[in-house]
């Protein structure tokens, strides 16, 4: 069986350390056998060698052997372990003390060396030391083999441009000539070529230092493999670019901002810029966006509320579906539906343009509440206005009037001129009606040639009769439609709240009855309801 297998290497080193005092004894006897004061001279180097080979244990045993051998061969009486001379006792005691100090110091030195070697040789980072004067590497840790595939000796034999890359070499020269203060740290990320031709990314951290032992300037550096990190960064960048492209190509406006009172925008997609006209440079933060885009307080509140809800400053079940009106850069107004979600340290807000939908809703509402021919309010909208006027009059104790208008002999126009001319005549009547009433009054078309007017702010029945007379006179003027001249007249009936009715039904019934009374009185006349009929 091989010796190396029978005895571990550390046992061989320990055994060799114990044998070192014997060669020292042989040399001592040949060189200085008759010189008693120097009996321990060669045992001191033997202790150093034994401590270096066998550690503290080997050095301690070697020290004991050295004392025994020196006493046996050099102290009187010779070849005896008894010591009669006090000077010999003092010499042995001094030798043992100095030897113990040598063993202890060497042990501490070995501990520091082992820690340093364990640190530099077992980590993945490469530690290197460069002489600032010669611009050559003095030390490279063995981890260079794992990082680049080169042995430390191979790297140290190369010029620093090849060993550390030209970028790092330039930084090293700057450090070497004092371009930065001692203790300042310089960090660079460079791509290095491995021995097999592949490349890796390394982060190199360097600093200038002075060697405490030699006094020379050095550059100390650590090279760390950051290929995985760079790959992750590249993947993250690719993912971010892909996400940006996705966000840029969706039809919804997207804004991403930071949290806090001074929220800053970090991303606006292409649709946001297209719809609202503002770029990221023009609206860097939420406050600027609010001032530019919200013409009124309510719109501003609806704009910021989703942000507040998303970050939790306002507790609600959802931060979705907030509508707001946004003033665009070109001066146009956009109706948007705002949704907000919190994404860790940011808030993602989407703006769905609902301007066309809102306009369509307004058109539908207008169509449902207005006469298709004359664009005057129809019966549904007019009844709503009457209800509001009735509630206001009851609350304030004020008056208002209701006027019914019927065109005289309109059927004859339809029969003789056709329905198209009749419709054009109704359009003209609606225009004259708008011109004749007061600004606060509300005219409407109920059906056919029947019109009605809500007379607001009536303090006395004479106020209503003045408006009615103005309407009668205006409608009595000749009409010119497609080169056809003809005249018509109108019969008008007026009822006043609360004199002629305390609710909408009774007022309408009395105003209608007054209108028929005007027709019976010869048409082209105005009749004021005489009393509250069937109230």
pTM of this prediction? 0.52
pLDDT confidence band for 218 (50 / 70 / 90): confident
Contact 88, 76 (CB under 8 A): yes
Mean pLDDT of all residues belonging to the chain: 82
- Cis amide prior to 498 (ω within 30 degrees): yes
**Residue among 455, 462, 435, 427 at smallest CA distance from 511:** 455
Whole-number Å distance between alpha carbons of 162 and 213: 29
Give Cα separations from 313 to 260, 266, 323, 346 (angstroms): 10, 21, 19, 14
List the catalytic residues. 449
Please give the pLDDT value at position 517. 92
Least confident of 48-57, 73-82, 91-100, 176-185: 176-185
Please give the pLDDT value at position 311. 58
Q: How do residues 393-409 score in pLDDT, each as one tens digit?
A: 999 999 999 999 999 98
Q: How do residues 137-155 score in pLDDT, each as one tens digit?
A: 988 888 888 889 999 899 8
Average pLDDT, integer, range 374-378: 92
What tokens were used for 267? 């991303």
**Residue among 507, 515, 517 at smallest CA distance from 449:** 515
Please give the pLDDT value at position 533. 38
Give helix then strand counts, H and E, for the chain: 19, 17
User: How many whole angstroms from its chain centre is CA 187?
Assistant: 28
pLDDT confidence band for 1 (50 / 70 / 90): very low
Length of the chain: 535
Please give the pLDDT value at position 467. 93
Q: How do residues 41-75 score in pLDDT, each as one tens digit?
A: 767 777 777 777 777 777 788 778 777 877 677 77
DSSP string for residues in 3-14 = HHHHS-HHHHHH
Q: How do residues 222-267 score in pLDDT, each as one tens digit?
A: 999 999 998 888 888 888 888 888 888 888 888 888 877 678 888 8
Q: Are strands 253-258 and 346-353 parallel, antiparallel or unpaired?
A: antiparallel
pLDDT confidence band for 534 (50 / 70 / 90): very low
pLDDT for 22 beyond 60:
yes
Contact 121, 141 (CB under 8 A): yes
> CA-based angle 465:470:471, to the nearest 5?
95
Chain position carrying tokens 């611009």:
135
pLDDT for 445 beyond 80:
yes
Please give the pLDDT value at position 345. 78
Please give the pLDDT value at position 471. 94
Please give the pLDDT value at position 531. 59
Give Cα separations from 216 to 116, 134, 163, 355 (angstroms): 21, 11, 22, 76
Name all domains of the chain by residue range, CATH numbers in brackets: 3-120 (no CATH), 123-230 (3.30.450.20), 252-357 (3.30.450.20), 370-528 (3.30.70.270)
Whole-number Å distance between alpha carbons of 269 and 288: 18
pLDDT for 318 beyond 60:
no
Q: Which residues contact 522 (CB under 8 A, 6 or more apart)?
A: none
pLDDT confidence band for 430 (50 / 70 / 90): very high
- Helix or strand run (H / E) with residue 17: helix 9-19
């Amino acid at each position: 069986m091989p010796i190396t297998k029978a005895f571990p290497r550390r046992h061989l080193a320990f055994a060799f350390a114990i044998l070192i005092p014997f060669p020292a004894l042989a040399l001592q006897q040949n060189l200085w056998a008759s010189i008693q004061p120097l009996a321990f001279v060669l045992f001191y180097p033997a202790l150093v060698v034994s401590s270096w080979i066998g550690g503290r244990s080997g050095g301690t045993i070697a020290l004991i052997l050295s004392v025994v051998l020196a006493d046996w061969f050099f102290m009187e009486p010779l070849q005896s372990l008894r010591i009669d001379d006090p000077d010999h006792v003092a010499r042995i005691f001094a030798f043992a003390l100095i030897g113990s100090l040598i063993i202890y110091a060497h042990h501490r030195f070995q501990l520091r060396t082992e820690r340093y070697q364990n640190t530099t040789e077992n980590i993945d980072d490469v530690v290197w030391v460069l002489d600032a004067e010669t611009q050559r590497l003095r030390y490279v840790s063995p981890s260079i083999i794992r990082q680049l595939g080169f042995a430390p000796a191979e790297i140290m034999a190369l010029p620093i441009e090849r060993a550390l890359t030209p970028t790092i070499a330039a930084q090293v020269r700057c450090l070497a000539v004092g371009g930065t203060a001692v203790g300042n740290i310089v960090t660079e990320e460079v791509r290095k070529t491995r021995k097999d031709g592949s490349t890796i990314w390394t982060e190199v951290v360097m600093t200038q230092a002075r060697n405490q032992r030699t006094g020379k300037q050095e550059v100390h550096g650590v090279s760390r493999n950051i290929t995985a990190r760079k790959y992750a960064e590249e993947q993250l960048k690719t993912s971010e670019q892909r996400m940006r492209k996705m966000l840029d190509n969706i039809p919804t406006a997207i804004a991403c901002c930071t949290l806090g009172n001074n929220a800053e925008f970090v991303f606006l997609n292409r649709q946001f810029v297209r719809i609202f006209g503002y770029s990221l440079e023009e609206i860097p933060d939420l406050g600027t966006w609010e001032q530019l885009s919200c013409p009124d307080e309510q719109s501003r509140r609806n704009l910021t509320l989703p942000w507040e809800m998303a970050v939790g400053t306002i507790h609600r079940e959802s931060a979705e579906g907030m509508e707001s009106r946004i003033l665009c850069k070109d001066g146009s107004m956009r109706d948007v539906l705002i949704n907000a979600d919190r994404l860790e340290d940011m808030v993602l807000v989407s703006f769905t343009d609902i301007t066309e939908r809102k306009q369509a809703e307004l058109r539908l509402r207008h169509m449902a509440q207005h006469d298709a021919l004359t664009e005057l309010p129809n019966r549904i909208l007019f009844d709503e206005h009457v209800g509001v006027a009735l509630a206001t009059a009851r609350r304030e104790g004020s008056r208002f009037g209701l006027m019914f208008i019927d065109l005289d002999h309109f059927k004859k126009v339809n029969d003789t001129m056709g329905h198209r001319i009749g419709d054009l005549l109704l359009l003209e009547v609606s225009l004259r009606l708008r011109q004749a009433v007061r600004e606060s009054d509300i005219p409407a078309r109920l059906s056919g040639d029947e019109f009605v007017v809500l007379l607001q702010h009536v303090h006395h029945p004479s106020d209503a009769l003045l408006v009615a007379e103005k309407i009668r006179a205006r409608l009595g003027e000749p009409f010119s439609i497609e080169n056809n001249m003809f005249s018509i007249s109108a019969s008008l009936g007026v009822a006043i709240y609360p004199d002629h009715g305390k609710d909408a039904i009774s007022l309408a019934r009395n105003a209608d009855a007054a209108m028929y009374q005007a027709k019976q009185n010869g048409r082209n006349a105005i009749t004021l309801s005489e009393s509250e009929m069937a109230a």
